[in-house]
Structures are given as structure tokens and as C-alpha cells.
């Protein structure tokens, strides 16, 4: 439910009468809590907030927040504890156990499937369908997920432990957890589970077998029957072969992270923008033949990954030095995990170019930007013969080729004038307006192509040296340069969208500062996450343009605002 960001509707301090009602509701929902424990969760004199939110699918949810941590969430008039509460009271709910790789699936929004459940010697907890329950990972009793039982315990056994076990609502590392202080789960050893693991190993069934069966169902997110018995060949598979693509990307992410800290980042660079760290250091540490894509990892976002490295590994300290902009402010160079990390041999001789402090020896290479087109629903019938469905992205030349082939295949070239194409019912529906249905019987080739491209979704592809192509819908944002007034007679130059072209705003600001001998600062852009703008004193558009055009070789058509430069030395 909270795998994606939610929208906050209101945030208010709870009233006295509502506080008493909440305490009564918690007591009724979780009768095992003592009076003292209830008072700790809902103290009489401390500020408790009621936060009403809308989940990404539109569900209305109420959060009860104490000391900035959400303790309970209410959905359809039913209370559920968060992991912050369960870490204090791990026995509050009946608990199912699973393997660590399955947690990553649940964080991504998957439910817990029964093949991924570890059954201890004491058996499964006694639950009915719909009962609130928790999920832990082996060897730690601290819950990492909350949900409802998909079926009763009896039905779980009768199904042969196949199908959906827990409908997951909230997990450690999701957006509800991130609404709190983002602390990690405590270490609460579970001797019974450790014994269970030893028994599994002793019986010849490996932990990897358990993980594979659980994550396979989770990745499909549906109830599938296992077909056939596992052969002897399966026992010879390596753990790498059994890893999911998400786990492989997680491993690659950590490798590039440690490599970057150990061989790229210098103490003098700190504090270092997290976006710069990823772009200039981690990407350059990616082995050849592999592509680092944080969206394909279990973390999805750089901020979540770095906070994990901070909370669970104590490798770095991340801080928001400017509102909305995070930086790495400290690296623990003595961390055993970092010190023991060995740079892969294949990377020893590789050194991808990075931006230096503005105008140094390593040249910046601008991206190659290409306009592309995506097949729209309206034009899909025209592209079906070429097996191009809605959403397929094509080069302009490919569009021309497919349209030409369609015209020839359907014999639509005008016999009397080969410069014209006869309009058949498909072309009529795809390319003509309703008012043109009775008026236009043929089109020139150029008109045919321009109408086709005009009714497709325009996209662009940006290729940066040493990186996989980036394809996005719409037009690429130009670097925006503007002049604003500050006070009665002061002007500042603002530069936005540098990140789109993989230009580090901090580096550009330093370069400009050296060029014009004026102070510069980085400012957050309202409503734009992970973006900042450079602000430098005076009308410096001429110098900014010179830096972007001459030094960074950005094509003029991708720079907006150059016409606002001072002319002839006169002040505006």
C-alpha cells in the first residue's frame, strides 16, 4: 500500500476526547497490551498528531504519529500497527517468518507467498482469514512487514503451503516507514528459527531452495502450482543463477558504492551532492558490459539506498544541507566493510572521465540527443502489420519506412500521380480530422509523413558517453537562464536544468565564480525534487552562455534565455 509515495491531506494535533477514543480503540484491537504499554503508545501530555493521507491508489488512510514516527494507521475503520510499534512490542501480532530476499519483494509491493514462509517446529501461528499479522525474517524477531492473513492457518496447511499467505499492507523501507525517523529494525535473535534453519540444512534442503520457491511466486504475484519434482541438476545451480534481477542489481549497486568510496571520493570533496556522487563516481565504477540502474533495484531511489548504507552499515552520513537537496557529509573510511572491499581487477585500469572543478583538464562531453516517436493508440492500426504496438518507440526513419511499406502493400499509390497516396479507411481514421472525412481522398507523401509524426507521442533519446541511452517522453528540457531582481537595484542570474545534461550545478557554480569573480549559491527549485538552480550575482548571461556553448559544447538550441544578455555594456 505504501510502496509508492502518498499525498498528505491534513496534519493536526489530536484532541483530548479523540486521544481517549484512540487509546480505547487500540486496547480493543490489541488486547494483549497492558495499561502501561497503552500509556506509552498514547501518552496523555505529549503531542500526538493525526495525519490524513491518500495512498497512491486513492485509499483514504489516517496515521497516528508520536515523536515524528507513525505508530498506527487506520484503513477502513481498522487499526494496524507500524513496524515502529512492532519493534517495541514484537509479540503484538501473530508472526510469519520468511527469508531476507523475500523482504525485498515485499518492499516492492508484493504479498508474502506461502512457499516463502519458514515453518518452525512449533508450527504456523493460528490465524483466521483477514486477521492482522506480522512478517519477520529468519534469525530476527523484529517484524519487517504488516498485513492480513490471506487464508486461515488450516487452509494454508491443506493447500500444501502454496498460494498467497499474507496480504502485505506496510513494510520496513516503504514510504510509511520513511515518514518516520527511518531507523532500522533492532536485532532480536530467534533461537527457534535458527534451529529450524539448521534442520533445513541437515535435511538436504538448502536455504537457497526456500528463497527461490518463495521469490518465484512473489515475482509472479499470483498463485501458481509447482510443476514436477526438482531434479538433481537443480542442486548443482550456483546461488548467482538463482538470484532475481532485482537482487543482482542490489549487489551491483553496493559494489559500485563501495568502489566509489574506496577509490574515487576524496575527503576534500565533502560535502558531496548525492546526485553528483551517483553520476560522477558510482556510474564510473560500473564494470564494462553491465548497466547500473537504481530503478531496477529493490531500493528504487538513491535516497533510500544511501539511507540504508547509513542506517544499517554506518558507511556514510547523509544530510539535507539545503532544503530538498541531500549531500554526503561524512564517510567512515575505517569501516571494516569498506576496508575489506577489493576493487575488481577488471576495473583497476579503467577510469571514466568525471567533471572537475569547472574548467580543468577532463573535458565534458555533451549528450547526443535524438528525437523519437511513440506509437499512439489512434495510430496503432497503421503499425499493426509491422508488429508495432501502442507505446513502441521508433526513429523517424523507421516511421517513414513502415508507412511506405503499408502504402505499397495495400496498393495505395495514386496511379495517375505517384506523388499522392489514396486514403483508405485505416488512413482516414488514423490521420484525418472528422471534418476532413468527406473532403480529402488523397495526400501527398510529405503530408502523409508529417501527419503521422504529428499524431505520435514525441520522445527523445539522450546518450551520454559510457552510459546506456536514456529515453523519455516529451521534449528535453532546455537549460534555462534568467535574470531576477533582488532588492532595489540588485540582479542575480539563475540557471536551471543543468542536471538534465549531467552537468553538476556545484561544478558549474564554481566555474562561473572563477570567471566573473562573483559569489554563487545553490538554491532548491520549488516542486522539483533532486534538482537545484545556480544563483550568481549580477547579469552574467553572457558568461554563462560562453561557458555552456564553448566549454561544455551544449548546442545553442538546448539553451533558453541567451537573448537576455546585456548588449553593448549598457545596464538594463
Q: What is the CATH number of the domain that holds 117?
A: 3.10.400.20
Q: What is the CATH number of the domain that holds 485?
A: 3.30.780.10
Q: Which of 121, 156, 179 is the last residue of a domain?
A: 179
pTM over 0.75: no
Do residues 431 and 452 lie in contact, with contact meaning Cβ atoms separated by under 8 Å? yes
Q: Which of 406, 429, 462 is the last residue of a domain?
A: 462
Q: Which of 150, 179, 208 is the last residue of a domain?
A: 179
Q: Is residue 304 part of a domain?
A: yes
Is residue 301 domain-shared with residue 390, that is, in the same domain?
no
Is residue 483 domain-shared with residue 552, that is, in the same domain?
yes
Is residue 53 domain-shared with residue 161, that is, in the same domain?
yes
Q: What is the CATH number of the domain that holds 307?
A: 1.10.10.2030
* Radius of gyration, CA atoms only, the chain: 29
Q: Is residue 136 part of a domain?
A: yes
Residue 245 has a pLDDT of: 76
Q: Is residue 61 part of a domain?
A: yes
Is residue 47 domain-shared with residue 126, that is, in the same domain?
yes
Residue 15 has a pLDDT of: 85
Name the 3-class secondary structure at 523: strand
Residue 560 has a pLDDT of: 92
Is residue 308 domain-shared with residue 378, that is, in the same domain?
no
Which range of residues forms the domain containing residue 158?
7-179
CA angle 56–97–214, rounded 5-degree value: 70
Is residue 284 domain-shared with residue 175, that is, in the same domain?
no
Nearest to 295 by CA among 253, 259, 242: 253
Residue 71 has a pLDDT of: 95
Q: What is the CATH number of the domain that holds 407?
A: 1.10.245.10
Q: Is residue 162 part of a domain?
A: yes
Q: Is residue 92 part of a domain?
A: yes
Q: How far is CA 283 from CA 93, 188, 286, 290, 497, in A?
A: 43, 37, 5, 10, 20
Is residue 432 domain-shared with residue 530, that is, in the same domain?
no
Q: Is residue 193 part of a domain?
A: no
Residue 385 has a pLDDT of: 87
Q: Is residue 192 part of a domain?
A: no
Is residue 70 domain-shared with residue 162, that is, in the same domain?
yes
Is residue 501 domain-shared with residue 454, that is, in the same domain?
no
Burial class (CB in 10 A: 0-12, 13-18, 19+), 375: buried
The grid cell for 103 is 523482504
Please provide the DSSP assignment of 489-503 as one string: TEEEEEEE-GGGGT-
Name the 3-class secondary structure at 267: helix
Residue 572 has a pLDDT of: 41
Task: Report the domain count for the chain.
Answer: 4
The parts of the chain modelled with pLDDT lower than 70 are: 190-243, 289, 323, 345-363, 566-572
The grid cell for 350 is 579503467
Residue 416 CA to residue 140 CA, distance in Å, equals 81
The grid cell for 117 is 514462509
Residue 333 CA to residue 123 CA, distance in Å, equals 45
Q: Is residue 353 part of a domain?
A: no
Is residue 329 domain-shared with residue 430, that is, in the same domain?
no
Residue 341 CA to residue 263 CA, distance in Å, equals 11
Query: 260: Cβ–Cβ under 8 A, 6 or more apart, which residues?
Result: 277, 281, 282, 284, 285
Is residue 314 domain-shared with residue 403, that is, in the same domain?
no
Is residue 152 domain-shared with residue 249, that is, in the same domain?
no
Residue 345 has a pLDDT of: 62
Strand partners, 444: 420
Residue 117 has a pLDDT of: 92
Query: 337: Cβ–Cβ under 8 A, 6 or more apart, which residues?
Result: 258, 313, 315
Residue 42 CA to residue 16 CA, distance in Å, equals 11
Q: For 482, phi and psi rounded to 5 degrees?
A: -145, 165
Amino acid at each position: 500500500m505504501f510502496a509508492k509515495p502518498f499525498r498528505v491531506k491534513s496534519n493536526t494535533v489530536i484532541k483530548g476526547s479523540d486521544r481517549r477514543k484512540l487509546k480505547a480503540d487500540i486496547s480493543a484491537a490489541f488486547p494483549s497490551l497492558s495499561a502501561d504499554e497503552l500509556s506509552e503508545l498514547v501518552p496523555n501530555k505529549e503531542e500526538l498528531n493525526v495525519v490524513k493521507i491518500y495512498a497512491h491508489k486513492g485509499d483514504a488512510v489516517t496515521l497516528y504519529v508520536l515523536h515524528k514516527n507513525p505508530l498506527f494507521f487506520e484503513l477502513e475503520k481498522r487499526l494496524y500497527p507500524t513496524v515502529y510499534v512492532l519493534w517495541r512490542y514484537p509479540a503484538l501480532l501473530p508472526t510469519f517468518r520468511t527469508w531476507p530476499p523475500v523482504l525485498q519483494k515485499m518492499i516492492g509491493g508484493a504479498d508474502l507467498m506461502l512457499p516463502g514462509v519458514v515453518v518452525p517446529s512449533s508450527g504456523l501461528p493460528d490465524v483466521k482469514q483477514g486477521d492482522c499479522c506480522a512478517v519477520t525474517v529468519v534469525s530476527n524477531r523484529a517484524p519487517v512487514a504488516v498485513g492480513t492473513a490471506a487464508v486461515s492457518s488450516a487452509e494454508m496447511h491443506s493447500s500444501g503451503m502454496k498460494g498467497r499467505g499474507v496480504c502485505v499492507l506496510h513494510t520496513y523501507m516503504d514510504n510509511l516507514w520513511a515518514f518516520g525517523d527511518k531507523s532500522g529494525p533492532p536485532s532480536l535473535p530467534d533461537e527457534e528459527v535458527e534451529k529450524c534453519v539448521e534442520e533445513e540444512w541437515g535435511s538436504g534442503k538448502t536455504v537457497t531452495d526456500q528463497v527461490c520457491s518463495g521469490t518465484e511466486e512473489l515475482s509472479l504475484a499470483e498463485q501458481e502450482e509447482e510443476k514436477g519434482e526438482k531434479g538433481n541438476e537443480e542442486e548443482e545451480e550456483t546461488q548467482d543463477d538463482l538470484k532475481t534481477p532485482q537482487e543482482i542489481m542490489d549487489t551491483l549497486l553496493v559494489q559500485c558504492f563501495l568502489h566509489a568510496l574506496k577509490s574515487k571520493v576524496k575527503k576534500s570533496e565533502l560535502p558531496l551532492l548525492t546526485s553528483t556522487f551517483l553520476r560522477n563516481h558510482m556510474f564510473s565504477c560500473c564494470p564494462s558490459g553491465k548497466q547500473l540502474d537504481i530503478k531496477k533495484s529493490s531500493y528504487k531511489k538513491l535516497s533510500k539506498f544511501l539511507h540504508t548504507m547509513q542506517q544499517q552499515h554506518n558507511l556514510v552520513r547523509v544530510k539535507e544541507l539545503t532544503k530538498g537537496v541531500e549531500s554526503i557529509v561524512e564517510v567512515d573510511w575505517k569501516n571494516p566493510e569498506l576496508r575489506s572491499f577489493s576493487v575488481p581487477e577488471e576495473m583497476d585500469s579503467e577510469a571514466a572521465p568525471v567533471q572537475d572543478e569547472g574548467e580543468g583538464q577532463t573535458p565534458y562531453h555533451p549528450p547526443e540527443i535524438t528525437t523519437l516517436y511513440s506509437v499512439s493508440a489512434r495510430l496503432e492500426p497503421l503499425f499493426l502489420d509491422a508488429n508495432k504496438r501502442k507505446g513502441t518507440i521508433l526513429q523517424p526513419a523507421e516511421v517513414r519506412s513502415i508507412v511506405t511499406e503499408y502504402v505499397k502493400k495495400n496498393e495505395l499509390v495514386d496511379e495517375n500521380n505517384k506523388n499522392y497516396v489514396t486514403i483508405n479507411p485505416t488512413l482516414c481514421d488514423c490521420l484525418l480530422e472528422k471534418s476532413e472525412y468527406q473532403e480529402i481522398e488523397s495526400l501527398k507523401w510529405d503530408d502523409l509523413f508529417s501527419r503521422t509524426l504529428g499524431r505520435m507521442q514525441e520522445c527523445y533519446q539522450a546518450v551520454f558517453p559510457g552510459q546506456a541511452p536514456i529515453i523519455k517522453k516529451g521534449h528535453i528540457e532546455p537549460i534555462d537562464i534568467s535574470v531576477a531582481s533582488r532588492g532595489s537595484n540588485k540582479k542575480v542570474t539563475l540557471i536551471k536544468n543543468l542536471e538534465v545534461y549531467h552537468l553538476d550545478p556545484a561544478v558549474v557554480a564554481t566555474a562561473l565564480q572563477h570567471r566573473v569573480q562573483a559569489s554563487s549559491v545553490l538554491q532548491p527549485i520549488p516542486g522539483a525534487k533532486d534538482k537545484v538552480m545556480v544563483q550568481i550575482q549580477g547579469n552574467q548571461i553572457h558568461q554563462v552562455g560562453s561557458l555552456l556553448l564553448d566549454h561544455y559544447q551544449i548546442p545553442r538550441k538546448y539553451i533558453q534565455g541567451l537573448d537576455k544578455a546585456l548588449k553593448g555594456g549598457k545596464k538594463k
